[in-house]
Amino acid sequence: MTTETTKVHVTALQIYYEDTDLSGAVYHANYLRYFERAREHLLGPAELVRLWRDEGTGFVVYKCELTFREPAGLGDVLEVRTLVNMESEFRAVFNQSVWRPGAKQPMVEGKVQLVCVDRQNRLVPLPPTVRERIRAGADETG
């Protein structure tokens, strides 16, 4: 399968007190949560539940890289931008970034590679509904 890229999906992000550390900046590990939330919005929570319940298919992180350029702080209103590359029938690469509205470069960038497994944690192909949702859902914001 050749690499297939979708359009950018945008998810709104509000920074709360609980997200910050002693310095007032967002704690670095929270960006993984923000990226996870954006992926869930893109794929659809109901579909993720259905896949696990009915088909026994779930997502796991295979590899993750983060680059930090600028801290976010309490009260910031930001957005997570997600661009998906389906590099094979087994792996989707989510290129994700956190942006201030109107900024010229992202604050944080991440590359999260996901694969699907069955209930016995064996690798399985990405379900057709997921590939379709990535193509269709990337045109929507949420």
* Number of residues in the chain: 142
* pLDDT at site 7: 80
Query: What's the mean pLDDT when you consider all of the chain?
Result: 91
* CATH (residue range 4-137): 3.10.129.10
User: Residue 50: is it exposed, middle or buried by C-beta count within 10 angstroms (0-12/13-18/19+)?
Assistant: middle
Q: Which residues are catalytic?
A: 21
If you search the block for the tokens 């539940």, which residue do you land on?
49
pLDDT tens for 85-122 read 988 999 999 999 999 999 999 999 999 999 999 999 99
The Cα–Cα gap between 12 and 63 comes to: 24
CA trace torsion 18, 13, 93, 64 (10° rounding): -20
Q: Give whole-number Cα distances, 60 to 42, 98, 121, 123, in Å.
A: 16, 22, 9, 10
pLDDT tens for 7-51 read 889 999 999 999 999 999 999 999 999 999 999 999 999 999 999
